[in-house]
């Protein structure tokens, strides 16, 4: 028997579809949060499309792990069963950054016009808000990751896997901790590196006790073409000219946002010698909202 759990009113439509297709005896649709569901029997497998952009956006995996621990039999299987995040060096983003700079400039000019209007027409001096507004613009244009669909030719080398999880063993406590990694990306295509980018793969290979007959991989790499999730691009405010064989040493931390723990912040720092020139990028924050 299949229990379909859905928190939203989409459950009402699911029930109608189940009934219309003569599957009411095989599928029970339950409207509610998984954490509130009570089943007469525990599940043999759990299937859930929980993945967000950069894998972790929206933090839906928390609910899947709770369901694994409370609603699934010991030795059961999750689908997907394993997950990975990869980071690569990217080129070909110069126009995107220039667009951001032009939009930032335009917004600043509009703010200046608004200040003059407020002062001349309404006799209100709003200039005290200018630093806060400029910081908000900088956060939006330069410290927010972009959801993009990259072309394989934009990859400047093989990506590095920075997070790998077996979803049958990872705990909620581990999920909620900062994810920290120090790694290297080797450049195999010379050119201007103007971004880092991240994406994920998930495996559908079952558990140790209930392995799938064939492993199926869902990848969101630029090499597989356009997907629903795309990739997350982290534009560099200071691009670097790289040569073949150069190595970028990268530090990364992924944290849940304090204002909304379903969204995440990624922190990147980078160091290396590119074409024999020293390059250093201090730790930079990117919001994944």
Catalogue the active-site residues.
49, 58
Considering all CA atoms of the chain, what is the largest pairwise distance in Å, rounded to the nearest integer?
74
Q: What are phi and psi of 40, to 5 degrees?
A: -70, -30
Coil, strand, or helix at residue 25? coil
Contact 107, 168 (CB under 8 A): no
- In angstroms, rounded to a whole number, what is the distance separating the alpha carbons of residues 218 and 203? 6
Contact 79, 206 (CB under 8 A): yes
Contact 73, 42 (CB under 8 A): yes
Give every CB contact of residue 47 below 8 A, 6+ residues apart in sequence.
78, 79
What token pair was written down for 90? 């990217």
């Amino acid at each position: 028997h299949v229990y379909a759990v859905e928190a939203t009113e989409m459950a009402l439509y699911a029930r109608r579809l189940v009934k219309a297709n003569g599957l009411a005896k095989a599928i029970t649709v339950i409207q509610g949060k998984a954490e509130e569901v009570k089943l007469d029997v525990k599940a043999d497998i759990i299937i859930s499309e929980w993945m967000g952009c950069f894998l972790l956006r929206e933090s839906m995996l928390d609910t899947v792990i709770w369901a694994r621990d409370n609603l699934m039999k010991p030795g059961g299987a999750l689908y997907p069963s394993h997950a990975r995040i990869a980071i690569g060096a990217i080129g070909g983003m110069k126009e995107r950054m220039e667009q951001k700079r032009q939009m930032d400039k335009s917004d600043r000019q509009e703010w200046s016009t608004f200040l003059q209007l407020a002062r001349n027409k309404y006799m209100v001096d709003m200039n005290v808000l200018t630093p806060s507004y400029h910081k908000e613009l900088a956060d939006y244009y330069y410290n927010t990751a972009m959801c993009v669909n990259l072309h394989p030719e934009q990859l400047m080398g093989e990506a590095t896997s920075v997070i790998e999880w077996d979803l049958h063993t990872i705990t909620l406590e581990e999920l909620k901790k900062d994810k920290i990694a120090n790694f290297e990306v080797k450049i195999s295509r010379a050119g201007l590196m103007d971004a880092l980018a991240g994406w994920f793969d998930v495996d559908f290979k079952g558990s140790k006790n209930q392995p799938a007959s064939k492993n199926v991989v869902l990848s969101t790499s630029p090499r597989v073409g356009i997907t629903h999730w795309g990739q997350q691009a982290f534009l560099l405010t200071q691009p670097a000219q790289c040569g073949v064989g150069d190595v970028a040493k990268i530090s990364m931390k992924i944290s849940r946002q304090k204002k909304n723990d379903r969204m995440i912040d990624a922190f990147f720092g980078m160091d290396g010698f590119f074409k024999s020139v020293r390059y250093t990028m201090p730790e930079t924050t990117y919001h994944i909202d």
